[in-house]
Structure 1
Amino acid sequence: MGVIQTEALTKRYGSSSGVAALDGLTIDVDAGVTGLVGANGAGKSTLIKILLGLLSPTSGDARVLGHDIRTEGEAIRTAVGYMPEHDCLPPDMRAIDFVVHMGQVSGLPAAAARERAADVLRHVGLAEERYRLMGGYSTGMKQRAKLAQALVHDPALIMLDEPTNGLDPAARDDMLALVRRIGHDFGIPVLVTSHLLGELERISDHVVVLDSGHLLRSEATQSFLGDTGVVLVEVIGDAAPDGTPAQARMGEALAARGVSCRARGALIEIDPDRRDGIPEEQAAAVHDALRDLVRDTAADLGLGLVRVQPQTGRLEDVFREEAAR
């Protein structure tokens, strides 16, 4: 059995025909780091609140760690560590006292809670700052304190709602590294939400993509990031006497040799499935033949070949494909 299972989970506000925050969502979440991605309003926070038993679904079912969300909400919240999106830290408390308190609320004895609090604050990088009042913390330190309280009771599952919200790039990288460490080094399953697609590509094993409460895709991250078959080419060199830049010269020469290509910023995008310039007998080695053709074309034009590389998929492509339908 997986960590989380939902079956046709739906949440509507208002009447039965009201706005659907979630609409017939069926997913399975297993161990590792699972990214829940979508724009603001896609239903990510609503799903987490339903999974924690804090919000009742309109219809459908879900189980978290084997517990029914409708009847076993308390058991779920006991076993799960939750990091909310919004700032919820009491400014007049020290981090150590707050995390100890949250450990005791979760059922730990006082001595065990203090020991665990010191341990998790060290893990999240607040060992030196644990005796400071949290009202004086930076945004990054506050996010780390919220993460520490989610970990203090040694949960069987962590739910993190927008953990990088408001962080600068360096602090965001540190937080993402912590999330990945929790899922892989600590072995605690993680469900993490973000509206920043590139973040989840970097740290997740599985990605669930939501759009306006609907499931777009739920797959292993690698399936999103695989080779698309498209090849990207970058060249450098002098413009032609008529002013045509190096990139355009290269594109025109490739097109003249039967290769389907188009400009993409400073790059040339080639679709190898349309390869009239490559002999049919070389079809089994089409990518090698294409690279040879690109290399020879650049040499004939006296251009420097900077790179020839496959284009991998991105999470953004899921939304582009949906919009094109």
Structure 2
Amino acid sequence: MTSAPPPAVVPPGPAPAPAPAAARPADAVVTARELTKRWGSHVVFDRASFEIGSGVTGLLGANGTGKTTLIGMVLGLHRPDGGSLRVNGLDPETAGALVRARVGYAPEHHNLPPDIRAHDLVRHIAELHGIPARVATARANDILWQVGLGEERFRAVSTMSTGQRQRVKLAQAIVHDPVLVLLDEPTDGLDPVQRDDMLALIRRVGTEFGIDVVISSHLLEEVERI
């Protein structure tokens, strides 16, 4: 099954240290009704209806089954061919900018700028979300410590291991304190120990940070552990 090219990095965001969860809409979920999406003659979704509630939710499917396509539609980057999709009560097709302001995203592929320092990248993403420079700097520091990169936060992304880059992607996805974060294959390329650590970190995001999480994966065991 052929899916669309992965969306480009979209400004994401978190909360500083595990502080009380920020106020968020009561409907901070994804709702699809009769959702249809095609790529040419290939049907990815055929009148699919479902809801994604609060907490940590696994989006399970083999590679090429449309997980990334769904993420792209949630972000307003791909238009459905039929039906309706709502994110926090908003239509991504008509209110894409507002949806992306409330949603964080960590893509599957490692397309982070290689020469930028992790701290500078996360701070820049925070500023893109309208957070003042001084606050953005503090948030970048806080969130990089929270994801386990406090000592490495001033290293260039190109010098980091795969596991560290995955943590940078998570940090930039939650630095603006979103109500929902979309993680596309966040354990890709990780060894068993790194995978356990990442899954534990994702659970923290959904509990201590109070951010709803959708984790896309092709591994049933991984989704069950979340």
Relative to the length of structure 1, the TM-score reads 0.61
SS of 2:108's equivalent in the other structure is coil
SS of 2:44's equivalent in the other structure is strand
SS of 1:125's equivalent in the other structure is coil
Instruction: Tell me: CA distance 1:57–1:123, structure 2 relative to 1, closer, same or farther (3 Å).
Output: same
1:1-325 equivalent positions in 2, closer than 5 A: 1=27, 3-14=29-40, 18-203=41-226
Distance 2:148 2:113 in 1: 19
Structure 2 match to 1:247: none
Given that 1:2 and 1:28 are in contact with CA atoms closer than 8 Å, whether structure 2 keeps it comes out as: no
The letter for the 1-side match of 2:29 is: V
Given that 1:51 and 1:64 are in contact with CA atoms closer than 8 Å, whether structure 2 keeps it comes out as: yes
When the two structures are aligned, how many residues end up with a matched partner? 200
Given that 2:36 and 2:81 are in contact with CA atoms closer than 8 Å, whether structure 1 keeps it comes out as: yes
The letter for the 1-side match of 2:51 is: D
Moved >2 Å (runs of 4+): none
Identity of aligned residues (%): 55
Which fold has the larger relative contact order, with Cα–Cα distance below 8 Å and residues 6 or more apart in sequence? 2
- Which structure: greater strand fraction? 1
1:111 CA displacement = 0.7
Q: Which runs of 5+ in 2 are unaligned?
A: 1-26
Q: Deviations over 1:127-151 (max 9, x none)?
A: 0000111101000000000000001
The letter for the 2-side match of 1:45 is: T
Distance 2:39 2:112 in 1: 29
Structure 2 match to 1:217: none
SS of 2:45's equivalent in the other structure is strand
Q: Alpha carbon RMSD of aligned pairs, Å?
A: 0.9
Distance 1:23 1:158 in 2: 25
Distance 1:96 1:2 in 2: 28
Q: Which runs of 5+ in 1 are unaligned?
A: 204-325
Distance 1:112 1:10 in 2: 41
Relative to the length of structure 2, the TM-score reads 0.87
1:60 CA displacement = 1.0
